[in-house]
Amino acid sequence: MANLQAHLRIPGPTPLPDAVRSAGAWQMVNHRGPEFAALMGRVGPALQRAFRTSNDILLVGASGTGGLEAAVVNHLSPGDPVLAVTIGAFGDRFAKIARQYGADVTTLAVEWGRAAEPAAVAEAIGRMRDEGRPPVAVLLTHNETSTGVTNPIGSLAAAVRSAAPDALVLVDAISGLGAVPFDTDGWGLDVVVTGSQKSWMVPPGLTMLAVSARAWDAQEQATIPRFYFDLRAHREAATKGSTPWTPPVSVCFQLDVALGLMEAEGYESIFARHAACGAATRAGLMALGFRLFADPGHASDTVTAAYVPEDLDWKPFNADLRRRGLALAGGQGKLTGTVFRVGHLGYVTLDDILAALDILEEALEATGRPVERGASLAAGARAASEAGRGRIAAATDPVVAEPGSARDAGQAAPPAAQGAPDTARAGA
């Protein structure tokens, strides 16, 4: 049987480095014991560095949607006016969660494929204020995975701050944080949510949230009922190096290892790698004749959406791609059947993108289209190097000691000390 995972190019879950895969097989530890507390002691500060924040960071056993639900139920009360800025299917989901819990949600719906504009956000807040219902929170999406658009979160948050200084800024950063520059504290974000299966090179199972001092204060006033996602319980447990409920221990091991790999590579290098992969994907797809969906000024460096050409029957074409070992994602929500998506986040290099383009060339040629073999790879490589990022480092793949093993010497998984990036896997 063909290895369908050979080229997993969906926007999460993403491929895993070997060291992260191995950590998933480690023996369990007591999640209320010293090994787990030590892990929490490493992961918390490492995530603070990745989020660029001194705010508390909580690990919650749930998918990203659970993190969004936690952001809603901990900070809002039924009837609270909320502005949801949505630029696609995931922005719609965030709004829907708030509505489901009884918030009075006003939606600023931006045309799919475009980013939100700070002035439009300020105007929407102004209208709400004129109606006597200024928003207590504004919901923003950092990277809209359904359309392949990255919002200018810094400017959007600044617009919120000036139009509604007291409103909390709650951000879905699930599919961008960790792959592209992000500045939680610099941008004054109150709650930032991400998910383990995205840029973090970890399987699904954990959502990580950064919570500001203002947000903690707001939680005392919020009256939506909550239990599993009550972040106060999570904070209390975190002070003891634990979680209030049993966490996905293996995924926590894997996150610990992955964060070490990311720090060994360095965030600047990670951002450059994603910028190169994003540029290569866009240029390669265009060279193959595909039309891109996103506004080029806000194209995401973690996921690219392209239109399915009218004369291409997507289902059999996609089945052929899968037979050749390439897994892409289809369209979501109202874009189902209209676009397909290529994920380029997490454990990905320029070589991986070129390999995917090569398979696309083969499959297109097999449909009888005229294809200039190698042209999309050349365009992709050129775009990556034009971005000044032709030579990119990739995450290392060291063997990391299992907690309690002889090599571990009392310290679980010290991956940050595992050496320099593996340039053998670097892009051309």
Ligand X SMILES: Cc1ncc(COP(=O)(O)O)c(C=O)c1O
Residues facing residue 107 across a β-bridge:
84
CB of 174 to ligand X, least distance (A): 4
SS3 212: coil
Q: Which is nearer to ligand X, 71 or 224 (CB)?
A: 71
Q: Do residues 397 and 17 make contact, with C-beta atoms less than 8 angstroms apart?
A: yes
CB of 48 to ligand X, least distance (A): 21
Q: Which is nearer to ligand X, 178 or 195 (CB)?
A: 195
Q: Which is nearer to ligand X, 141 or 396 (CB)?
A: 141
Q: Do residues 425 and 398 make contact, with C-beta atoms less than 8 angstroms apart?
A: no
| Pick from 3, 6, 57, 10: nearest CA to 346 | 10
Q: Do residues 256 and 42 make contact, with C-beta atoms less than 8 angstroms apart?
A: yes
Q: Do residues 218 and 191 make contact, with C-beta atoms less than 8 angstroms apart?
A: no
Q: Which is nearer to ligand X, 15 or 415 (CB)?
A: 15
CB of 20 to ligand X, least distance (A): 17
Strand segments (E) across 198-261? 206-211
Q: Which is nearer to ligand X, 242 or 302 (CB)?
A: 302
Q: Which is nearer to ligand X, 64 or 241 (CB)?
A: 64
Q: Taking the mean position of all CA atoms in its chain, how far away is CA 355?
A: 23
CB of 90 to ligand X, least distance (A): 4
Distance, CA of 381 to CA of 29 (rounded, Å) = 45
Q: Which is nearer to ligand X, 205 or 380 (CB)?
A: 205
Distance, CA of 249 to CA of 220 (rounded, Å) = 30
Tokens of 286: 């265009």
Residue nearest to ligand X (CB): 64
CB of 91 to ligand X, least distance (A): 8
CB of 328 to ligand X, least distance (A): 14
CB of 171 to ligand X, least distance (A): 10
CB of 99 to ligand X, least distance (A): 16
Q: CA distances (Å), 214 to each of 264, 311, 368, in order? A: 33, 53, 59
Residue 398, CA atoms < 13 Å, CB-side half-sphere: 21
Q: Do residues 154 and 124 make contact, with C-beta atoms less than 8 angstroms apart?
A: no
Tokens of 172: 């879905």
H helix runs in 76-117, sequence order? 89-100
Q: Which is nearer to ligand X, 141 or 318 (CB)?
A: 141
Q: Which is nearer to ligand X, 34 or 154 (CB)?
A: 154
CB of 398 to ligand X, least distance (A): 28
CB of 131 to ligand X, least distance (A): 29
Q: CA distances (Å), 388 to each of 199, 347, 380, 392, in order? A: 22, 20, 13, 10
Q: Which is nearer to ligand X, 171 or 379 (CB)?
A: 171
Q: Which is nearer to ligand X, 172 or 190 (CB)?
A: 172
Binding footprint of ligand X on the chain (CB under 6 A)? 12, 63-65, 90, 141, 143, 145, 172, 174-175, 195
CB of 11 to ligand X, least distance (A): 6
Tokens of 333: 């929500």
H helix runs in 52-204, sequence order? 64-75, 89-100, 118-130, 153-163
Strand segments (E) across 285-399? 303-307, 326-327, 329-330, 339-343
Distance, CA of 205 to CA of 197 (rounded, Å) = 8
Distance, CA of 277 to CA of 89 (rounded, Å) = 24
Tokens of 156: 């959007």
